[in-house]
């Protein structure tokens, strides 16, 4: 049975054929926006092109297709699913939120659990794969994403501007780093409030914050600690009511030792441990596709849709 796994995330579009072991991965850029939002047609065409590039040459079609994507709760997945069915001829297409993909990939299995994903944005998710499907945060860099790279970068820029104003809580180290990255502080409001890529721009400041913390800057160290604690709180809130499920964490920001340590310390304070992540959202899509060969997948009207809404 031929199974295809796709992940649409902050790092771009990734595609792989779902074997028992991870195979070659095709990669492309991220989403493109059209007049009505995400250009799904473009994503589908690029995904299928990548699938052909990493195929073993048999070109025997697709029997199961799992498509993991960010922002699923903000869109109707019906048209995307119909497009995939029409283009592949595959009637078994699952549209999965990246939170579910990240959880399954991090656990290395389709089982109950909770995950916090800390990249440019931040979201926590927990499920027992039955009655409970709980998402926490993921509200974007203006309203939420606490503990994310964008959040940490923004906090670092605020500390830099406090140094400009010679106020308590300012950091000269962060001011110097932000000037090197973004130029004159007078231009920062325009760049971060009206620029088309504000979250990515803010996130690009996060490595400067973690580097300053490692270099001994107390303000930066405190910001890193706050980021890790915020991520842990989101994870615990998501897992509330599911005391026995494993907790895990994924995302590039967790490569920062101080952020990771703060997350683990906050979890330990509540008597919980974080399981090392086995994989990512593409691995999760692959594992879901493999399970679907023999067993029906769980269903949720938002986070994991395996059939058109009208059939549920």
CA distance 13 to 25: 10
| Torsions phi, psi for 56 (to 5 deg) | -85, 5
> What pLDDT score was predicted for residue 57?
59
What per-residue confidence (pLDDT) applies to 309?
Answer: 47
Fold type of domain 140-275? Nucleotidyltransferase; domain 5 (3.30.420)
For 281, what's the count of Cα atoms within 13 Å in the CB-facing half-sphere? 29
CATH match of 3-108+279-311 with 3.30.70.960: no
In this prediction, residue 312 carries a pLDDT of 47
Going from N- to C-terminal start, the domains of the chain cover: 3-108+279-311, 140-275
Contact status, residue 244 vs residue 271, Cβ threshold 8 Å: no
What is the full per-residue pLDDT of the chain (312 aa) written as tens digits? Answer: 788 899 887 667 898 988 777 788 888 876 665 555 566 787 888 888 888 888 875 667 788 899 888 765 556 677 788 888 888 888 888 999 888 999 999 999 999 999 999 988 888 999 999 899 999 998 888 888 899 999 999 999 999 999 999 999 999 999 999 999 989 999 998 888 866 678 888 999 999 999 999 999 999 999 999 999 999 999 999 999 998 899 999 988 999 999 999 999 999 999 999 999 999 889 999 999 999 988 888 888 888 888 754 444
Q: Do domains 3-108+279-311 and 140-275 have the same CATH topology?
A: yes
pLDDT recorded at residue 310: 46
Instruction: Quote the tokens at residue 88.
Output: 């592949």
pLDDT score for 308: 58
| Interacting residues of 241 by C-beta distance below 8 A, sequence separation 6+ | 132, 134
Question: For residue 97, which phi and psi values (nearest 5 degrees)?
Answer: -70, 150
Taking the C-alpha atoms of residue 95 and residue 104, their distance in angstroms, rounded to an integer, is 14
β pairing state of 3-9 and 33-34: unpaired
3-state helix, strand, coil in the chain (%, to 5): 45, 20, 35
**% of the chain surpassing 90 pLDDT:** 50
The gap from C-alpha 32 to its chain's centroid, in whole angstroms, comes to: 17
Token pair belonging to 245: 């499920």
Whole-Å CA distances, 217 to 55, 142, 249: 49, 26, 26
d(CA 11, CA 250): 13
Beta strands in the chain (DSSP E): 3-9, 12-17, 26-28, 33-34, 37-38, 64-69, 93-97, 113-118, 122-127, 133-137, 247-250, 274-275, 304-305
Whole-number pLDDT of residue 11: 62
CA-nearest of 188, 262, 253 to 225 is 262
How many angstroms separate the CA atoms of 255 and 235, rounded?
17
The count of residues in the chain is: 312
* DSSP output for 86-146: HHH--S-EEEEEHHHHHHHHHHTSSS-EEEEEESSSEEEEEE-SSS-EEEEE--HHHH--T
Buried b (16+ CB within 10 A) or exposed e, 253-267: bbebebbbebbbebb
């Amino acid at each position: 049975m031929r199974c295809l796994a796709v992940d649409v995330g902050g790092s771009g579009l990734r595609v792989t054929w779902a074997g028992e072991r991870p195979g070659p991965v095709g990669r492309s850029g991220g989403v493109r926006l059209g007049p009505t939002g995400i250009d799904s047609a473009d994503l589908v065409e690029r995904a299928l092109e990548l699938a052909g590039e990493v195929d073993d040459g048999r070109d025997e079609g697709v029997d199961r297709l799992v498509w993991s994507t960010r922002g699923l709760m903000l869109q109707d997945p019906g048209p995307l699913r119909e497009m995939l069915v029409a283009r592949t001829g595959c009637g078994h297409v699952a549209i999965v939120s990246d939170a579910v993909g990240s959880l399954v990939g991090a656990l290395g299995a389709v089982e109950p659990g909770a995950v916090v994903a800390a990249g440019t944005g931040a979201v926590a998710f927990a499920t027992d794969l039955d009655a409970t499907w709980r998402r926490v945060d993921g509200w974007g860099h203006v309203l939420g994403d606490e503990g994310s790279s964008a959040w940490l970068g923004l906090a670092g820029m605020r500390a830099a501007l406090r140094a400009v104003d010679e106020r308590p809580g300012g950091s000269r180290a962060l001011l110097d780093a932000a000037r090197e990255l973004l130029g004159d502080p007078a231009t920062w409001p325009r760049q971060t409030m009206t620029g088309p890529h504000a979250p990515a721009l803010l996130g690009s400041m996060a490595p400067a914050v973690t580097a300053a913390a490692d270099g001994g800057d107390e303000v930066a160290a405190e910001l890193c600690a706050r980021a890790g604690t915020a991520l842990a709180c989101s994870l615990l809130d998501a897992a509330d009511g599911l005391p026995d499920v494993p907790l895990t964490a994924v995302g590039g920001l967790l490569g920062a030792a101080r952020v990771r340590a703060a997350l683990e310390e906050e979890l330990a304070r509540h008597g919980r441990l974080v399981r090392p992540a086995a994989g990512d959202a593409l691995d999760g899509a692959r594992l879901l596709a493999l399970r679907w060969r023999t067993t029906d997948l769980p269903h949720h009207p938002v986070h994991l849709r395996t059939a058109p809404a009208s059939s549920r």
